[in-house]
Structure 1
């Protein structure tokens, strides 16, 4: 399985989100933004064997659909937000809105790396096991994916993403509701 998964990761088709669609990114620089899962680039997101679109029941989220991970051994989700929408010199935090189903599997030995890269700034990354979140199933979690401060809000994008570890463990049963970018208090 590992070889097949590695080949998939190397030559994988992507669901390319509609980054510029205003209804998929909502909010403002003061209260923060919500980004729909449909606005993200999800590796294998266009293949229903691996990901499926599901209705969301979460009132905090402004979107009707999320992405349910059926099974993959390499998780990769990327997104971006125009820096011009944000305030310079304000620190923002990135949160992944995630829920695990009762039958979620493969998260115990599969660290996930969360990265944030601000334009004209540093890239920061952290790696975390999502197993503690999986143990509390059917509840929406805000998983911290990093923070950034803009030195300028001109040009370029803030880029963020989560990716798997290449361990070969198959994972499934996670629902990605979207991403929140909030000013740090």
Structure 2
């Protein structure tokens, strides 16, 4: 159980292909018995290197995913360019509701070309 959710990471884009559009995805699952996710949506954020772009941020309600299989929750996307070479950061968080939640499993984060 958690009251304060904060899952974050960083990735160096130096080996990504220039001119390719990428998406950053959190792979998650909510167990059948998951609870506490109906109070406040979870926020996702993607920050590009050196502030080259405005951070991409949005909210997602997890209620509809309870009891489903693994799902992909997009944190954001970006076009790989010389300006975007460096470290990106991404996060899935919720700090405001101050209620206990349970049943969230985070498998990982995938950075993949978007077709």
Query: Considering the TM-score relative to the shorter chain, is it more than 0.5?
Result: yes
1:84 alignment partner, SS class: helix
Partners of 2:81 and 2:22 in 1: how far apart?
12
Unmatched tracts of structure 1, length 5 or more: 1-70
Greater relative contact order (Cα 8 A, min sep 6): structure 1 or 2?
2
Aligned to 2:2: 72
- Equivalent runs, 1:104-183 vs 2, <5 Å: 104-119=34-49, 120-134=52-66, 137=67, 139-152=69-82, 156-183=86-113
Taking a change above 3 Å as real, the CA distance of residues 97 and 154 of structure 1, as seen in their structure-2 partners, is closer
Unmatched tracts of structure 2, length 5 or more: none
1:97 alignment partner, SS class: strand
2:19 alignment partner, SS class: coil
Taking a change above 3 Å as real, the CA distance of residues 130 and 123 of structure 1, as seen in their structure-2 partners, is same
CA displacement at 1:117 relative to structure 2: 1.1
TM-score by length of 2: 0.88
CA RMSD of aligned residues (A): 1.7
The superposition leaves residues 131-177 of structure 1 with CA deviations (integer Å, 9 ceiling, x where unpaired) of: 1111xx15111112211223317753011111104111211111101
> Do 1:118 and 1:150's aligned partners in 2 also have CA atoms closer than 8 Å?
no
Partners of 2:58 and 2:68 in 1: how far apart?
25
Structure holding more strand per residue? 2
Partners of 2:73 and 2:84 in 1: how far apart?
28
Aligned to 1:84: 14
Q: How many residues align?
A: 113
- Equivalent runs, 1:28-107 vs 2, <5 Å: 71-107=1-37
Partners of 2:85 and 2:99 in 1: how far apart?
39
| Structure with bigger gyration radius | 1
> Do 2:48 and 2:84's aligned partners in 1 also have CA atoms closer than 8 Å?
no
